[in-house]
Amino acid sequence: MKKVCIVGASGKLGGYMLQHALHRGYEVVGVCRERSVGKLDAFKDHITIVPGATNDREVIKKAVAGCDGVLTVLVPWGRQQYATGTAQSVLDHARPGARLIFSCGWHITRDGQDVYPGGLKWQEGLTRWIGRFTGLVDIDDQIEACRRVFASDTLWTVVRGSDLEEGESQGLPVWSRHVGDPILESNLTRRVDFALFMVAALENDELIHEAPAIVGCQTPSALAHAP
Ligand SMILES: NC(=O)c1ccc[n+]([C@@H]2O[C@H](COP(=O)([O-])OP(=O)(O)OC[C@H]3O[C@@H](n4cnc5c(N)ncnc54)[C@H](OP(=O)(O)O)[C@@H]3O)[C@@H](O)[C@H]2O)c1
């Protein structure tokens, strides 16, 4: 892995992924909305920035050219199929054989075998309702984006994040195939470690065609149930 693209580099998760990717010595291309380029000032001497909407196919085509891996933040903002457009552009334009890592939350299910805590389903329903009412968020867009990724024959991994918190790294999160597995019960991950898992997945072939649900490695459920 030499060159990677981070789609959604200006957000919180994107910033941490940038740090981890540079730390590993990768050449990094970052994509973010034009208005957010200033958020990348601290990195501008070390990365190539491609400004533009992440669902703009030409922007993504340019950004992922020659990349061995693409880390994509799937954001459910707005009502214009932003996440779906982002995912489809990455699937279509990344070079064959590139590792593609996408971020989302636990609410995404790959095979319908996840068993969700009651509060999480309630939260999803509320977000869907608020989204329809305000036009600010579209949870079904992220679901469709992931459906397309799951159906793709590219070398994808969909990393499903638990609730997040800020704080220093505790190390690589642990994961399981299904929400509801006891190891995930604590439902908390440091955002910096979510990013660490995304970047580490680039070189972990065991995660190809997996949708790991993650949790912090120092949480009580991880400590109690780690293999
Ligand atoms: N927050 C959570 O608790 C949580 C939990 C589990 C999983 N996740 C997953 O983690 C990932 C990122 O989450 P995060 O909380 O850390 O957020 P984040 O990294 O801060 O990401 C927000 C991203 O959304 C972009 N964005 C904001 N408003 C937008 C708009 N109106 N149109 C298009 N893009 C917009 C931001 O770009 P700009 O810099 O240009 O604004 C940024 O790239 C997502 O895949 C999410 O599903 C989050």
To the nearest 10°, the Cα dihedral for 70, 151, 60, 162?
A: -50
Closest-lying ligand 1 atom to the alpha carbon of residue 39: 39
Mean pLDDT of 153-172: 98
Pick the residue whose CA is nearest to atom 33 on ligand 1: 77
Quick one: which of 71, 95, 110, 86 has its CA closest to 211? 110
Quick one: pLDDT band at residue 138, thresholds 50, 70, 90?
confident
More confident residue, 44 or 119: 44
Contacts of residue 205, Cβ cutoff 8 Å, sequence gap at least 6: none
Residue 225's SS3 state is helix
Mean pLDDT of 142-156: 97
Quick one: pLDDT band at residue 120, thresholds 50, 70, 90?
confident
Ligand 1 touching residue 88 (CB < 6 A): no
| pLDDT for the residue numbered 227 | 76
The reported pTM is 0.96
> In whole angstroms, what is the distance from residue 160 CA to residue 158 CA?
6
For residue 2, report the distance from its CA to the centre of ligand 1, in Å.
Answer: 26
Pick the residue whose CA is nearest to atom 28 on ligand 1: 77
Choosing from 10, 12, 13 the residue with most ligand 1 atoms within 8 A of its CB, the one to mutate for a pocket test is: 13
Burial class (CB in 10 A: 0-12, 13-18, 19+), 62: middle
Quick one: pLDDT band at residue 107, thresholds 50, 70, 90?
very high
The dihedrals phi and psi of 43, each to the nearest 5 degrees, come to -105, -5
